[in-house]
Amino acid sequence: MSYAHLTWDPATTSRAATGLFVPAASGEALSSTTSLALTGAAIPVLGAAIWIGFLIMARRSAWPLTGLYLLINMGLLIPTRDTSATSLVLLALGVLLAFSVVRLSRRDRALATGEGIFARITLVLPLLVLPGRSVWLYAPGELFHTTLSLIGYLGLLQALRHLKGDSRWREAVSVFVVGLLAALVGLGDLGIEAVSSFTVGGWTGLVLVGVATVLAGSLIERHGRRFRAAMGNWNRRFQQTD
């Protein structure tokens, strides 16, 4: 909600995230004062909930884990969606997280337990949201192809487990089928996009008229006698009917 009022990005970049803004009423966007007030009020409330959660999982390290988690989530509030800026923020927060987790693990042995491992994994979630948000908003096609490729790879991996070790199909499925599926998915996506954006007008109309003329001329030149005979037969039938 705050990104709409504090964005550092140009209009072409920020327009893609417009649909994520929550309207205050039908067709009315939240004002900057309301958005910033909600953001400021949410931070201490969520901070208390986070502290309670870490207190259950790792009591001795609850405060540093809470502070670290809030700091990493602050990266999500930076009002930019630029790829370079997001990459720098992700790199800086990743280095900070790795360094801090290593120090906390040396101090608190409880972080090596199941609850402690879960607490450490929780710290990584905001870092996954940062690139995921950029991909979802600005590269949905790449995300779609990657997801389908991953699903296809897992399916083929499962199929390979049921093939014999000396089967020649194993080599074919690890190399050719994966490429074929990726190519078919890409061609299908391009075909859908071409059909959805296709319009008959301008140069497209002239090209279609030219192609139709060439095809009609070639058919008449090759099968002209058959067309004349067919037309003569139809003409005689009409005369007999009359």
Question: Rounded to whole angstroms, how far apart are CA atoms 230 and 242?
Answer: 19
162: its two tokens: 């049921």
Last residue within a domain, chosen from 96, 122, 138: 138
160 and 214 assigned to the same domain: no
Q: How many residues does the chain have?
A: 242
61 and 111 assigned to the same domain: yes
Distance of CA 87 to the CA centre of its chain: 17
Q: Quick one: pLDDT at residue 215?
A: 83
115 and 24 assigned to the same domain: yes
Residue 175 has pLDDT above 70, yes or no: no
How confident is the model over 67-77, as pLDDT tens digits? 999 999 888 88
Q: In the structure, what pLDDT confidence band is assigned to residue 12 with cuts at 50, 70 and 90?
A: low
Q: Quick one: pLDDT at residue 20?
A: 47
Q: Quick one: pLDDT at residue 66?
A: 92
40 and 134 assigned to the same domain: yes
73: its two tokens: 């989530």
The predicted model gives 225-232 an average pLDDT of: 81
Q: Quick one: pLDDT at residue 19?
A: 47
Q: Give the Cβ contact number of residue 138 at 10 Å.
A: 16
Last residue within a domain, chosen from 198, 213, 229: 198
71 and 146 assigned to the same domain: no
Question: Rounded to whole angstroms, how far apart are CA atoms 93 and 72?
Answer: 6
Q: In the structure, what pLDDT confidence band is assigned to residue 167 with cuts at 50, 70 and 90?
A: low
- Domain extent, residue 116, equals 3-138
19 and 112 assigned to the same domain: yes
146 and 41 assigned to the same domain: no
**Of residues 93 and 35, more confidently modeled:** 93
Q: Quick one: pLDDT at residue 23?
A: 47
Last residue within a domain, chosen from 138, 155, 174: 138
Q: Quick one: pLDDT at residue 178?
A: 66
DSSP H/E element including 90: helix 83-107
Of the CA atoms within 13 Å of residue 226, those in its CB half-sphere come to 5
Q: Quick one: pLDDT at residue 68?
A: 92
* Average pLDDT of the chain to the nearest whole number: 77
Asked if residue 3 lies in contact with residue 17, where contact means CB atoms within 8 angstroms, the answer is yes
Between 12-21, 51-60, 92-101, 195-204, the lowest mean confidence (pLDDT) is in: 12-21
92 and 167 assigned to the same domain: no
Question: Rounded to whole angstroms, how far apart are CA atoms 234 and 134?
Answer: 66
Q: At what angle do helices 140-160 and 178-196 cross, to 10 degrees?
A: 150
* Three-state SS at 213: helix
Domains in the chain: how many in total? 3
8 and 122 assigned to the same domain: yes
11: its two tokens: 């209009």
* Three-state SS at 64: helix
151 and 128 assigned to the same domain: no
* Three-state SS at 222: helix
Asked if residue 2 lies in contact with residue 30, where contact means CB atoms within 8 angstroms, the answer is no
101 and 11 assigned to the same domain: yes
Contacts of 81 (CB under 8 A, 6+ apart): 3, 7, 9, 13, 14, 16, 17, 133, 134, 137, 138
Give Dmax over CA atoms of the chain in angstroms. Answer: 106
Residue 30 DSSP symbol: P
> How much of the chain, in percent, has pLDDT values that exceed 70?
76
Q: Quick one: pLDDT at residue 40?
A: 83
Q: In the structure, what pLDDT confidence band is assigned to residue 236 with cuts at 50, 70 and 90?
A: confident
Q: Give the Cβ contact number of residue 228 at 10 Å.
A: 11
Question: Rounded to whole angstroms, how far apart are CA atoms 88 and 85?
Answer: 5
105 and 167 assigned to the same domain: no
Q: In the structure, what pLDDT confidence band is assigned to residue 21 with cuts at 50, 70 and 90?
A: very low
